[in-house]
Amino acid sequence: MAESARVEPASPTAAREIAFTRLLDAPRELVFDAFTSPEHVKNWWGPNGFTSTIHEMDVRPGGLWRLVMHGPDGRDYHNHIVFVEVKRPERLVFKHVPQPGMEPVSHETTVEFVDRGGRTEVTMRLVFTTASARERLVKEYRVDEGGVQTLDRLAGYLESMT
């Protein structure tokens, strides 16, 4: 049985970051594919009640990922993301780069995939440029809850595949 996602303890950049960890009942290669294939990502990305439309997903250093997250309230959240590092099946690093008309807060996300004997421990760490940017997104958008829900949705999606 998969464990619930949890918020990680503080790190040296704790004032600027939020980290989530989840142990998934799926092999690391499959979990990495679920994070890097548009055909998978569209089925689970985002908090509860969200759907995603992926316009582009070029998973390579310098590659662009453009998607729109559709909120349950009907609001669209446009995302412009650039991949910084892709190390299959161990690690992804990508930056949210604000564009005109988008949320003006930038952050870098590191996703690590650790094999745990056929299961996969995923840690998703978001580091914001400032502590106040982090706090604003937690307050206004509940990013802390959204990350847990996103990894929970990934777990459910992976369970549906097996």
pLDDT for 162: 74
Asked if residue 89 is part of any domain, the answer here is yes
CATH code, 27? 3.30.530.20
* Stated pTM of the model: 0.89
**Length of the chain as a residue count:** 162
Q: Is 147 helix (H, G, I), strand (E, B) or coil?
A: helix
pLDDT in tens, 89-101: 999 999 999 888 7
Asked if residue 3 is part of any domain, the answer here is no
- Token duo for residue 19: 């980290």
Q: Would you say residue 66 has pLDDT above 90?
A: yes
Nearest CA among 80, 82, 129 for reference residue 105: 129
Lookup result for tokens 């969200």: 50
Asked if residue 122 is part of any domain, the answer here is yes
pLDDT in tens, 10-63: 566 789 999 999 999 999 999 999 999 999 999 999 999 999 999 999 999 999
Total domains, the chain: 1
Asked if residue 156 is part of any domain, the answer here is yes
- Token duo for residue 53: 């439309």
Asked if residue 67 is part of any domain, the answer here is no
Host domain of residue 121:
18-47+84-161
The values of phi and psi at residue 82, to 5°, are -120, 130
- Token duo for residue 54: 């992926």
Share of the chain above pLDDT 90, in %: 81
